[in-house]
Amino acid sequence: MRHAAVAGAVLAAILAIRASAPAEEGGAESARRTRIVARIGATRVITVGEIEDRIAQMPPFQRATFGGTPEAIRRRVLTEVMFPDALLSLGAEGDRLSEQLPTSSAIERALSGATVRAIRASIGPASAIPMDDVRAYYDRNQARYDAPERYLIWRILCQTREEAQLVLEATRSDPTPTTFARLAREHSQDKATYLRGGNVGFVTAEGVSSEPGLRVDRAVVRAAQAVRDGSLVPEPVVEGDRFAVVWRRGTIASTKHAVEEVAAQIRDALWKARIKEETDKDVAALRVSKLRDLNESLLDTIAVPVGGAARR
């Protein structure tokens, strides 16, 4: 599996580094680190290397709390950290806690998290993603970083000019969202927006809305461009064979970001996508090789607490 390959690569790197030193020196160092400081129970041992690794993992401020000299630090880490950990671990094994909830779940989560960390280590940091990959992503998603000016438009599409004029006069007499929403429900021929107060979303100069599947006639946009934010277009706008009452509610200014400005953001997106891709590959492969005897019909028999009471 992927994490096994990562572990193998890490081990190979360690062996390569050690191989660069004289063989006799490496052998002596290995022998020193494997010397046993203490035996606990029938099988547990604490070695020189384990103590060194535990001390090395501590940040300096924490290490200093164990003493002011190397001798004091070594002794207190052994007696106050490693002895209790080893003894409690043996106690947990005796009670078979690893087979009981919530311990078993916590162990699974820890192993799962370690696998994801191994995947991240194999991919490397986001900062290592080449600029060529960043530019390719930028080119594929340029609309995210180079957006035109957009206008928030509400409009009521009426059957006739006379009807549109009446709706426009009613809106002028009470220019509130509540009134406009009521008039949209009563008069708008656009069934995609009449129940949402005529709101067609933020629209580009080409009439493309931020709302999926919505467009408006360019004439509506041109009419909205001619007035200020918060203003009604003074006359009904011809839209095909119908007439629109248009209210420009707001504007989002155009944005343009060079690839260098968003490089860090793109690297982070690529890094997360690669981690997800590799994780999904591992999950898919493990599902094929490990998952068996799946009986989803039994899910219906599992009680799930809802509002403090278990419901089926």
The pLDDT tens digits for 59-113 are: 999 999 999 999 999 999 999 999 998 888 888 888 888 788 888 888 889 999 9
Please state, in angstroms and rounded to a whole number, the distance separating the CA atoms of residues 29 and 40.
24
Please state, in angstroms and rounded to a whole number, the distance separating the CA atoms of residues 151 and 221.
8
Centroid of chain to Cα 142 = 21
For residue 294, pLDDT over 70 is answered with yes
The DSSP secondary-structure symbol of 261 reads T
For residue 61 the two structure tokens come to 């401020």
Sheet of strand 150-158: strand arrangement = 199-203, 150-158, 242-252, 237-239
For 211-266, how does the pLDDT look when each residue is reduced to its tens digit (9 = 90+)?
988 999 999 999 999 999 999 999 999 999 999 999 999 999 998 899 999 999 99
Residue listed under structure tokens 């880490």: 77
For residue 25, pLDDT over 70 is answered with no
Q: How much is the average pLDDT of 41-54?
A: 90
Phi and psi torsions of 311, nearest 5°? -125, 150
Q: How much is the average pLDDT of 133-145?
A: 91
For residue 4, pLDDT over 50 is answered with no
**Which residue, among 209, 216, 205, has the nearest Cα to 245 in the 3D structure?**
216
For residue 184, pLDDT over 60 is answered with yes
pLDDT of residue 146: 85
Average of per-residue pLDDT values in the chain: 88
pLDDT of residue 107: 86
Residue 126: pLDDT band with limits 50, 70, 90: very high
SS3 50: helix
Q: What structural domains and CATH numbers belong to the chain? A: 2-100 (no CATH), 149-253 (3.10.50.40)
For residue 204, pLDDT over 70 is answered with yes
Please state, in angstroms and rounded to a whole number, the distance separating the CA atoms of residues 257 and 144.
9
Please state, in angstroms and rounded to a whole number, the distance separating the CA atoms of residues 171 and 187.
12
User: For residues 200 and 193, is the Cβ–Cβ distance under 8 A?
Assistant: yes
Query: What is the DSSP annotation of 125-163?
Result: -GGGS-HHHHHHHHHHTHHHHEEPPEEEEEEEEESSHHH
Please state, in angstroms and rounded to a whole number, the distance separating the CA atoms of residues 54 and 7.
20
SS3 114: helix
Higher-scoring residue by pLDDT: 305, 277: 277
pLDDT of residue 312: 55
Please state, in angstroms and rounded to a whole number, the distance separating the CA atoms of residues 241 and 224.
19
Residue listed under structure tokens 């981690």: 275
What Rg, from alpha-carbon coordinates, does the chain have?
Answer: 34
Q: How much is the average pLDDT of 285-305?
A: 89
pLDDT of residue 104: 85
Give me the percent of the chain exceeding a pLDDT of 90: 67
Higher-scoring residue by pLDDT: 9, 111: 111
**Which residue, among 235, 234, 228, has the nearest Cα to 249 in the 3D structure?**
228
For residue 295, pLDDT over 70 is answered with yes
User: For residues 146 and 255, is the Cβ–Cβ distance under 8 A?
Assistant: yes
For residue 15, pLDDT over 70 is answered with no
pLDDT of residue 3: 45
Q: Is the peptide bond before 22 cis (omega within 30 degrees of 0)?
A: no
How distant, in Å, are the alpha carbons of 19, 29, 58, 81 from that of 23? 7, 10, 30, 34
Residue 308: pLDDT band with limits 50, 70, 90: low
Residue 2: pLDDT band with limits 50, 70, 90: very low
Output b/e per residue, 38-50; b: 16+ Cβ within 10 A.
Answer: eeeeeeeebeeeb
pLDDT of residue 309: 56
